[in-house]
Amino acid sequence: MIEYAVAVGSDRLAGRLFGPSFEALADVPASRVGDVLTELESDGARRTLARAEVLLTGWETPQLTAKVLRHAPRLRRVIHAGGAADGLFPDGAPGITASDVGAANALPVAEYSLAMVLLANKDTFRAQQLYRERRAFIDREAEFAASGNYLRTVGVVSASRTGRALVELLRSFPTLRVLLYDPYLTSHEAAELGVEPVTLPELMSRSSVVTLHAPVLPETVGLIDAGLLARMPDGATLINTARGAIVDAGALERELVTGRINAVLDVTDPEPLPASSPLYDLPNVVLTPHIAGSMGTELRRMGDTAAADLARYARSGP
């Protein structure tokens, strides 16, 4: 029977991923060695690493440097209960295969984004502010004549795992037109996804809601700049559940302060914003503290996915 170890940021996270008594791993035909590893440098951690053929990792797992891997001679597989596992191996990982549960984490981000798309098109956040201010009857046909989710256009930036998951969820709303920008998307892929491929400037100009799902790469830092923000129609909403660095923070703040456009920001740059940031108090901004990704009960889905991957490996090998 193969032996595996768990190396994540804390015992609490391990419990959220796999259950307080590791219930998610109970039926896996493999044997867990050692306690949860929150560091990889101590003698105890090295003894555990020396026995492990598989390592279950997650958020805040220390990097698996060449020095660490020297103490893991039997390690053949890393299963990462998080997004992409590439950053775990700064010195490479010869002889070790790695997988992740990024698709499981993409789903709650897509669900959050879908909810915000629908609420933004209904002008829900402005309606809430208006009702709170007036505390009286609101004539919705007078105040929200252009609101709603019928015949509206949603712009999705990036055909990443999260972007594709959102597009799939949007299929349930056939009266929403979906535009997609991704420089690597083929026309065949766009047709299969049921989206209209467009340039980024066109997407920004045509969409009532723009939702960002691009990874942080040298070419995507500051991707959404002042010029692109200026293209957004008056009253349009920008949703960011990707990373704050994708947007020019100064340009976005300047646009939002005018009240011309709206934003739903689950990520910012920096994160969190300084206490003095005007974005906390702007009525046209919804700020949430990076909750779109897996949290609470959703962490168990990532753990279950990692456990299923481990079970497949244990039964059939790499």
Is 3-82+296-316's fold the same as 106-287's?
A: yes
Longest distance between any two alpha carbons in the chain, whole Å: 70
Domain locations in the chain? 3-82+296-316, 106-287
139-198 pLDDT, tens digit each: 999 999 999 999 999 999 999 999 999 999 999 999 999 999 999 999 999 999 999 999
Q: What count of other Cβ atoms lies within 10 Å of the Cβ of residue 60?
A: 12
Task: Name the pLDDT band for 214 (thresholds 50, 70, 90).
Answer: very high
Q: Average pLDDT of 221-247?
A: 98
Q: Are 239 and 214 in contact (CB under 8 A)?
A: no
Top CATH class of 3-82+296-316 equals alpha beta
* Structure tokens given for 42: 């101590």
Q: What count of other Cβ atoms lies within 10 Å of the Cβ of residue 78?
A: 23
Nearest to 204 by CA among 165, 251, 136, 171: 251
67-124 pLDDT, tens digit each: 999 999 999 999 999 988 888 999 999 999 999 999 999 999 999 999 999 999 999 9
Q: Please report which helix (H) or strand (E) contains residue 189, including its range.
A: helix 187-193
- CA distance readout (Å), 11 to 56, 100, 183, 239, 278: 13, 20, 41, 33, 37
* Structure tokens given for 76: 């053949």
* Structure tokens given for 274: 């300084």
Residue 123 backbone zone (phi > 0: left; psi -120 to 50: alpha; other: beta):
left
Taken in order 221, 227, 229, 233, the sign of the CA dihedral is negative
| CATH superfamily ID and name for 106-287 | NAD(P)-binding Rossmann-like Domain (3.40.50.720)
Active site residues: 290
Please tell me the pTM assigned to this model: 0.95
